[in-house]
Amino acid sequence: MAQRRLLLATSNQHKIQEMRALLGDIPFDLVSPREVGLALDVPEPFDTYLANATQKARAYAAASGMLALADDSGLEIDALGGAPGVHSARFGGADMPYPERFALIEQRLAGVPPEQRTARFRCVLVLATPPPDDRLAHVAGVVAGQIAPVARGAQGFGYDPIFWLPEQGVTMAELAPAAKDAISHRGRAARAMAEVLRAW
């Protein structure tokens, strides 16, 4: 019997690659929007990861007629009141390169001692079935760390080079992909979602 298809509701190729690695053993055929000829620009106007991810999952499920899995995630820096948070992908401007974002964060953290540079990555995954069923499920994952004063590492993407993991003594971008997946926010959320998908 053919496997059910699961649409990864994102155009971010890094996220697609990570989710395929994380969910590779579930009994679904993971497909990207490009592979099914779908191009959506879904706004993310809400102030919670759950609301934004739900909007994306529902939009992709409705447009494709497929089960859809959406992610919303971000970096939360305690000394900045939780910023950039849900605005992480647009922090400093939608087209600002990440090295410039790192510099902007470091500028805002000027004078903050190392022990107060605490932060976390948070990920919320939402699964949606297409209409008229409209079933939803969601899970979350968090990993704690600190903001490094200097970007390090060439693995990963986004804010990984400035996310310091004290227990490992490296930034997220210095971890090999499998090591990152074992501890990351998206890895933890994906393992919880895998159980939901197996139950479905």
Strand order in the sheet with 136-147: 28-31, 4-8, 67-77, 118-128, 136-147, 163-165, 170-171
User: What's the pLDDT at 1?
Assistant: 40
Q: What is the pTM of this model?
A: 0.93
Which residues, 6+ apart, have CB-to-CB distance to 11 below 8 Å?
33, 34, 39
Any idea which residue has 């649409």 for tokens? 7
**Which residue in 3, 93, 10 sits closest to 56, CA to CA?**
10
Cβ-in-10-Å burial (0-12, 13-18, 19+) of 123 comes to: buried
Three-state SS at 80 = helix
Taking the mean position of all CA atoms in its chain, how far away is CA 141? 9
Weakly modelled stretches of the chain, pLDDT under 70: 1-3
Taking the mean position of all CA atoms in its chain, how far away is CA 110? 27
Give CA–CA dist 70/15, Å, rounded: 10
Provide the CATH number for the domain around residue 166: 3.90.950.10
User: What's the pLDDT at 2?
Assistant: 52
Residues annotated as part of the active site: 72
Domain interval for residue 85: 4-199
For residue range 118-177, list pLDDT tens digits in order: 999 999 999 999 999 989 999 999 999 999 999 999 998 999 999 999 999 999 999 999
Q: For the chain, what is the domain count?
A: 1
User: What's the pLDDT at 3?
Assistant: 65
Which residues, 6+ apart, have CB-to-CB distance to 69 below 8 Å?
6, 7, 8, 9, 19, 57, 125, 126, 127, 128, 193
